[in-house]
Structure 1
Amino acid sequence: MLENKEISALFHLIDDPDEEVYNTVSDKLISFGKDIIPNLEDLWENTGNEEIQERIESLIHKLHFKDLTADFENWKNGDCNLLDGALLVARYHYPEMQTSLVLQEIEKLRRNIWLELNRYLTPLEQITVFTSIFYNYYKQQGIEIAYTHPEDFLINKTLETKKGNVISNGIVYLILCDLLDIPVKAINIPRQFILAHFDPQYEIMNPISHNSEKILFYIDPLNGQVYSHKDVENYFKRISVPPTTSYFKPLSNKRIIQFLLEELSKCFDNDRNRYKMNELLLLVNLLEE
């Protein structure tokens, strides 16, 4: 814990009824950074005043968010690894999360799938093996999106409970495909989060062709079901939208994490938690090009 007279003096003012004084105290405490969190937690434990406890909780949250914002800035300016981005999103809800548990689970899954793959399998056979291990052997379940359950969007809970919605399951699926060098990407089909298996050789030979022509088949990450081009054509007819080439372009990792943040923010669309919604949308804007 940090120890100095200034911190002690600020703690004595934390219950000041004057909002202007409290805001000044709050800003000063936040300027110390996350190293002051143990002091705040100790103060919380040693006060019985609920109003002061709420102020302390708010300060701790602001400190975690400040730290998280800086990490998102670094992620944006780095290689934008999808696993790292998903872990950052999970840290918004679980700031003390142990990432090692997630990494161990991902590695266990990767190894189990890798052991069953070989270079003689066709792309569809590869995905059949992948699906069998992920959804049948590992028993990962797909659940409908529910904005009353923010944990369903987070990679740590998705792996811990073996339940995820189409977005969180899809992100785990994409992370594993990347580790296994399987060319599966998320694409921008309206009102869906769907994955596509790209043909890398076709892309090299025909770089300016329609994006959909570079795709072999489609995958629903909710349950691993494979869809054909005809299935997707029928979907576009059903929603009365022309299938333009932009819908078949792979989404960047940055855009996937933005989408995850946008969807997670909808879980906090109420008066009590609106500040969380606003914070998550701030992170979305931070990741803009």
Structure 2
Amino acid sequence: MEQTKEIAALLHLIDDPDDEVYSQVSEKIISLGKEIIPNLEHLWETTADEYTQERIEMLIHSLHFRDLQMDLKAWANDKEHDLFTGALLISRYQYPDLNLLTYYQELEKMRRNVWLELNSFLTSLEKVNVLNNILFNYYKIKGTEINYSHPDDFLVHKLVEAKKGNAIPIGILILSMASLLDINLYMINIPRQFILAYFDDDPENNTGTEFPPEHIQFYMDGASGQIFSHKDVETYFKRISVPPTPSYFKALNNKRIIQRMLEEYAKCFDNEKNAYKKNDLLSLAAQLNESDE
């Protein structure tokens, strides 16, 4: 952004010790939009005072965050709200300059490798096994335990780059591939797990009240691709002393999956220094609720 007298005056006031003055200055700077970020970055590079640098960093963060809020709102209001896109938007919280096109291209390469191995004579289980084989054996994707001290393990772009992540981004990658390949995998709401289920028809028709749900053929672990039976799932519910009620076996829509991702990712910043990040991410999750109203 061109350095006008007004902008120069605003930047000069960033280090003002009066909190009220700084509050007004920061609001005005943020209202100018992300075009002012290069000016702020130049100021940061030419400022020796650490306190002023911290203020500049927070202003840049606030500008990126406002941009992300608008993009996530647009995604949620789009009738498609593509799952892979939603996950990449979450990556942009920590990596605001992410080039999304790069990851769409990688997803398409993965999709094509699976598609070449599929044919109309395969059973549903065989199709899922082909998908698993390409992701876990050909691409060597490795699942990790949920660890809130490793925030990058929650991000789908890091999974695509490093072929390593926890059940959340791996499950989202599997679901994204399945959607492109017309494989009926969906995420369900089993407690404390990121579990996918293969539905033999439209999951909207899954209105049964009995266990096992009649429209689910089998289950799949999001981190490893391991296949589970109804008996395995029933055993899990007995182990955690929770009855397998119908609500746990309904397919979650993409907004709910991204909302859950945000809520889990927020736990990575559960300390005083990063409290603002936790609040940001939870506010994005709440924003997805508002988009349903």
TM bucket by the smaller chain? Answer: over 0.9
Report how many residues are paired. 287
Distance 1:84 1:226 in 2: 26
Q: Which shows bigger deviation, 77-86 or 249-258?
A: 77-86
Distance 2:255 2:145 in 1: 24
Match of 1:200 in 2: 201
Match of 1:267 in 2: 268
Give the letter aligned to residue 106 of structure 2. Answer: E
**Residues 1-289 of structure 1: pairs in structure 2 closer than 5 A:** 1-79=1-79, 80-200=81-201, 208-210=207-209, 212-288=213-289, 289=292
Distance 2:193 2:13 in 1: 51
Distance 1:2 1:70 in 2: 24
> For the Cα contact (< 8 Å) 2:198–2:216, is it kept in 1?
yes
Percent of pairs with identical residues: 58
Distance 2:3 2:206 in 1: 61
Give the letter aligned to residue 35 of structure 1. Answer: E
Q: Which shows bigger deviation, 38-47 or 267-276?
A: 38-47
Give the letter aligned to residue 69 of structure 1. Answer: Q
**CA RMSD of superposed structures (Å):** 1.4
C-alpha displacement of 1:49: 1.5
Superposed CA offset, 1:21-59 (max 9, x none): 111111110110111111111111111221111111010
> For the Cα contact (< 8 Å) 2:166–2:223, is it kept in 1?
yes
TM-score (norm 2): 0.95
Distance 1:208 1:27 in 2: 49
> For the Cα contact (< 8 Å) 1:147–1:267, is it kept in 2?
yes
Superposed CA offset, 1:69-88 (max 9, x none): 11111111112210111011
Distance 1:240 1:148 in 2: 29
C-alpha displacement of 1:210: 3.9
C-alpha displacement of 1:207: 5.4
Give the letter aligned to residue 155 of structure 1. Answer: V
Superposed CA offset, 1:91-114 (max 9, x none): 001001111221121111101000
Distance 1:200 1:107 in 2: 25
Residue 15 of structure 2 aligns to a residue whose secondary structure is coil
TM-score (norm 1): 0.96
Residue 192 of structure 2 aligns to a residue whose secondary structure is coil
- Flag structure 1 segments of 5+ consecutive residues without an equivalent: none
- Flag structure 2 segments of 5+ consecutive residues without an equivalent: none
> For the Cα contact (< 8 Å) 1:2–1:35, is it kept in 2?
no
Distance 2:68 2:14 in 1: 24
Distance 1:2 1:193 in 2: 48
Distance 1:113 1:172 in 2: 13
C-alpha displacement of 1:239: 1.1
Give the letter aligned to residue 229 of structure 2. Answer: S
